[in-house]
Chains A and B, each alone.
Chain A
Amino acid sequence: MNNNYAITANNLTKRFGDFVAVDNISFEVSKGEIFGFLGANGAGKTTAMRMLCGLSLPSSGTATVAGFDVYKQNEKIKRSIGYMSQKFSLYDDLTVKENMQFYGGIYGKSDAFIIKKTAFILNHLHLEKEANVLVKALPLGWKQKLAFSGAIFHEPEIVFLDEPTGGVDPVTRREFWNMIYQASDLGITIFVTTHYMDEAEYCNRVSIMVDGRIEALDTPSKLKSTYNAASMDDVFLKLARKAVRACRLNNWHETIFSF
Chain B
Amino acid sequence: MPVVQIVIFGFALTNEVKNAKIAVLDNSKDEATTSLIAEFSNSRYFDVEKNLVSYNQVQQEFKKGKIKLAVIFPQNFSRDLQHLNKAQVQLIADASDPNVANTLTAYANAIIADYQNSITNNRKLPYTINTEMRMLYNPQLKGAYNFVPGVMAMVLLLVCTMMTAITIVKEKEMGTMEIMLVSPMRPQIVVIAKAVPYLLLSIVNIITILLLSVFVLELPINGSITLLMLESILFTLVSLSLGLLISAAVASQQTAMFISLVALFLPTVMLSGFMFPIENMPLPLRTVSNIVPAKWYYIIVKSVMIKGLGIKDIWKETLVLTGMLIFFLTMAIKKFKIRLA
Contacts and interface: CB of A to CB of B under 8 A. Distances in A.
Interface of A: 53-57, 75, 78-79, 81, 83, 85-92, 106-108, 150, 160
Interface string B100-140: 00000000000000000000000000000000000000000
Nearest to B180: A106
Interface of B: 174-176, 178-185, 340-341
A91 B171 CA distance: 9
A78 B174 contact: no
A106 B193 CA distance: 12
B184 A89 contact: no
Q: Main SS of the interface on chain B?
A: helix
A55 B183 CA distance: 10
A168 B25 CA distance: 83
A39 to B, nearest CB: 19
A87 B184 contact: no
Given A79-B184, A107-B184, A55 B179 contact: no
B89 to A, nearest CB: 66
A89 B341 contact: no
Nearest to B341: A57
A91 B176 contact: yes
Nearest to A76: B184
A55 B182 CA distance: 6
B184 A92 contact: no
Nearest to B186: A75
B184 A56 contact: no
Nearest to A84: B179
Given A56-B340, A56-B341, A86 B175 contact: yes
Contacts of B180: 106
Contacts of B178: 55, 83, 85, 87, 89
Contacts of B181: 55
Contact of A85 (B179, B184, B185): B179
Contacts of B184: 75, 78-79, 106-108
B253 to A, nearest CB: 14
B340 A89 contact: no
Given A87-B174, A90-B176, A106-B179, 10 more contacts: A55-B181, A56-B340, A75-B184, A78-B182, A83-B178, A85-B179, A86-B175, A87-B178, A88-B174, A106-B180
B229 to A, nearest CB: 32
B87 to A, nearest CB: 72
